[in-house]
Amino acid sequence: MSEWFSLAGKTALITGATRGIGLAIAREYGRAGARIAISSESAEACTQAVAQLAQEGIEAIALVADLREAQAVQGLANQCLAHFGGLDALVCNAGVAPHLGPLSTASDADWELTFSVNLRSAVWLTTALLPTMAEGGGGSVVLMASIAGVRGNKGLGLYGLSKAGLAQLARNLAVEWGPANIRVNAISPGVIQTEFARPLTDNPDVLQRRLALTPLRRVGRPEEVAALALLLAAPGGAFISGQNLIVDGGTTIGDGN
């Protein structure tokens, strides 16, 4: 393995890491040599993911936390630091999309859930962890945003607002923590073949229209997002900070031809 992509001797926490993009990132970080903590609100899902990684030779611990609650997020941070003694890489990947439709039809509960899990939990977690990361000499934070946060949406407007907030959070934190050698970036995936995207990928008509607007004419794979997340945490990405990196097969730059 090239030293530019090595996480040997590093520690990492990934939220929303029991499936899809989060699990793929945990796998790549583990393969690169990092000690891994994965988190989800489901103890059963965490146990299954840890067992799956163990079968692949990757050691990980599970930290169960409900990211809707500030106290639970603080507890997650405390457990992580108690186990590792510090932290080198944080990936805030957990996300929800409880509302589909015009913004005017979103309930207060929809707003609260979407922004608590998608945005506020990342604020709480970085607030709790970055001082210790700075004391350890710095590190990397990756916030999982979305192309829904860089353009208008007919159905995913509320989700898009929260993801646009994550991209801005990456810029703000990059400025605040850069002098402590902490790099903060966002990744904005397009349609990736995950359970989360199945309402789109399982609908042939909708998927065909989306692929026609995507220059590469396919959906992405979780591993293709994970590879970028690895770069951002590794020495090869050491001069990248405050960016929102789009991984969408060209969807957002295509002209529909």
- Which residue in the list 84, 159, 177, 196 is annotated as catalytic? 159
**Known catalytic membership, residue 29:** no
Q: The tokens of 219 are what?
A: 């959906």
The alpha carbon dihedral of 36, 82, 143, 43 has a sign of: positive
Two tokens, residue 61: 């611990």
3-7: long-range pairs with CB below 8 Å, 24+: 3/235, 4/234, 4/235, 4/236, 5/32, 5/230, 5/231, 5/234, 5/235, 5/236, 6/32, 6/33, 6/234, 6/235, 7/32, 7/33, 7/34, 7/88, 7/89, 7/230, 7/233, 7/234
Separation CA 189–CA 67 (nearest Å):
21
Using DSSP, how many helices (H) and how many strands (E) does the chain show? 9, 7
Around 216, how many Cα atoms within 13 Å sit in the side-chain half-sphere? 14
Mapping DSSP to helix (H, G, I), strand (E, B) and coil, where does residue 189 land? strand
Other CB atoms within 10 A of residue 238 CB: 15
Give the Å distances, CA to CA, from 244 to 61, 115, 168, 232, 234. 29, 19, 9, 11, 17
Which amino acids are annotated catalytic?
Answer: 159
